[in-house]
Structure 1
């Protein structure tokens, strides 16, 4: 009889992934002030390994943040919603909020650590900007005279706006269940200046609902 085919084992995480996973576990246990020695022990690597891979703790936190944005990109790409640019942006906001709420304790800790002065720059803004540029696409449904300006300026402004919502969420001033609605309303307020007149009603209704009026 022919022997049964045995699938090769799946490759395990790389050393870099093990270090990032260890950082997530420490953050999830409330150890935002973990040392690089603690991180190395948690990851099961030598003390020098995190330094060799990342250089400093700040770079590890930036890498964790970049992972979140990459997940947002992947989810948006795999389930791009129908509709115009405004609808896609609002859907992307919902996806981004859901990613942050997958592990709220860890992600709050990442956001809090990134908000502290460190001298590290991990390119998070550029990654975030790319997500919103992808959501805007060619600007379908935007006022024709505003489309070019929107494609130049809105990705930056949406990145700033979503980061602002996350900052209030990190501080506990926005609760988990309100994060998506608050972030969508902020994006809707930005979009109001760029959509065609007939598209304004839905955005205005969203803002009125959040305001309770």
Structure 2
């Protein structure tokens, strides 16, 4: 066995099992295998057949974990981005970041969105995770109406999460092309923000 293969094998065995399963799911999706079985997943991850079930419980739960990974990537990029003082500018940056994350791997991300968009007993935290992203972008709401700023900062993140999810749903269904996702997401965010902006 070559030294590189030995290093890769050691690295894979040393990875946390949950991470290995998630990484394997991403690889299968990347290869266009959205209908993979849990047996396929276990084989790809190099774990026993029972391991994906023990770690996640079901395939929909794995897809929710992949969605959380995307939102974590959005939050990480948002943390590292410039933070202009006006909330609307920060939201615009967050929209661009969220769209970029989704377009980094459209095949994988469309598959994840399709899975989490179907009804299942697996409950995820997609809505709360997404709302947290938009709350971080809004910050203290600087530049929004000061009359109800506390209320705005409490309500608007969830509205932005719903709006972005709507744009992603049309993108997932193929009704928005990749190049249309950003403008559509920006337009709906701008519409929501205008309702709360100072004159």
TM-score if structure 1 supplies the norm length? 0.85
Give how far 1:80 is off: 3.4
Give how far 1:181 is off: 1.2
Give how far 1:191 is off: 0.5
Partner of 2:55: 53
Where do 4+ consecutive residues of structure 1 move more than 3 Å? 9-13
Structure 2: stretches of 5+ with no match in the other structure = 1-9
Partner of 1:119: 121
Match of 1:192 among 191, 194, 197: 194
Following the alignment from structure 1 to structure 2, what is the Cα–Cα distance between the partners of residues 105 and 13? 25
Partner of 2:179: 177
Partner of 2:132: 130
Give how far 1:13 is off: 3.2
Partner of 2:84: 82
Match of 1:67 among 66, 69, 82: 69
Give how far 1:10 is off: 7.7
Give how far 1:83 is off: 3.2
Structure 1: stretches of 5+ with no match in the other structure = 1-8, 198-213
Partner of 1:31: 33
Match of 2:19 among 17, 20, 36: 17
TM-score if structure 2 supplies the norm length? 0.91
Root mean square deviation of aligned Cα: 1.5
Please identify the structure whose Cα radius of gyration is greater. Answer: 1
Following the alignment from structure 1 to structure 2, what is the Cα–Cα distance between the partners of residues 194 and 148? 12
